[in-house]
Amino acid sequence: MRMGGVSGATRTRVAAAVCGVMVMSLAACGGSGGSSGAKADASPRGKAGQTRVRTTDLKSIPDVGARLRKQIPANSRQVVAVYGEGRNDADSTIVLYTKNGSTWDQTRSWQGHNGKKGWTTNHEEGDKRSPVGVFTLSDAGGVLADPGAKLPYTRSASFQAPRYWAKSHWHDFDYVIAIDYNRVKGTSPNDPTRPQGQSKGGSIWLHMDHGSGTSACVSLSKPGMEYLLRTLDPDRHPVIVMGDKAELKA
């Protein structure tokens, strides 16, 4: 079993050790209100009836400017792009791009959400904004059994959302993929270690959508999470490029 250099026993101990602090760390992804029901297979541009945009043999990731494009590792062949609607907007479109040779193909897309207050280039704990940037994707986990993830997967009840949260949020962390912002790669997503300090936040994840903004994470439908878990491959060095549309293009 692949564990990214960390044994299954070690990851189980980590998950158990952080159970007592999950209320604090999960708050980075939590929210209130809303109902589930994210739409799948949406386009990052345009509406029904408009000219269809090209989705194959792309020379670069669409609508991502040189500043962030240069931060995508040369060996990355899978990019999850999160196109936020606006700096202070919680709605976003999540698109998976796959590199074939020297060009990119749009593989799949979904509607979802980001931080309830939008986006920031200087994320701080509790600001309710998602961090703009390029981050690797290296670890996954959740309450539910491994659905066939290629990334190292930690199943633990300690991912369970607190029952004092709105019922619509109880399944947020059934599946999660850690976004490598202020965390240690190769550990369970719920490892509380914060290399940049607690004030810079953490526990920024891709997780299941509850129909409204999060506290900093990116959320999408359960089928979308299952697809990403089964598709994102460490051998393809997956990364996420995320931000509001203006920052992405800058």
Q: Is residue 184 part of a domain?
A: yes
Cβ atoms within 10 Å, residue 185: 15
Q: Is residue 233 part of a domain?
A: yes
So what's the pLDDT on residue 246?
97
So what's the pLDDT on residue 39?
37
Domain limits for position 124: 66-249
The CATH number linked to 242 is: 2.40.440.10
Beta strands in the chain (DSSP E): 78-84, 91-100, 103-113, 119-120, 130-131, 133-142, 153-155, 176-179, 205-208, 218-220, 239-244
Question: Do the beta carbons of residue 119 and residue 206 sit within 8 Å?
Answer: no
So what's the pLDDT on residue 120?
98
By DSSP bridging, strand 218-220 and strand 78-84 are: unpaired
Residues of the chain where predicted confidence (pLDDT) is lower than 50:
1-10, 12-25, 27-28, 30-51
Q: Is residue 237 part of a domain?
A: yes
Closest CA to 131 of 55, 238, 29: 29
Number of folded domains in the chain?
A: 1
So what's the pLDDT on residue 52?
59
Q: Is residue 3 part of a domain?
A: no
- pTM of structure: 0.83
Q: Is residue 73 part of a domain?
A: yes
Q: Is residue 9 part of a domain?
A: no
Question: Do the beta carbons of residue 200 and residue 187 sit within 8 Å?
Answer: no
The residues facing 243 across adjacent strands are 83
Q: Is residue 104 part of a domain?
A: yes
So what's the pLDDT on residue 54?
85
DSSP alpha helices (H): ranges in the chain? 8-17, 22-26, 66-69, 222-231, 245-249
In terms of Cβ atoms closer than 10 Å to its own Cβ (0-12, 13-18, 19+), residue 54 is: exposed
How many whole angstroms separate alpha carbon 124 and alpha carbon 135? Answer: 17
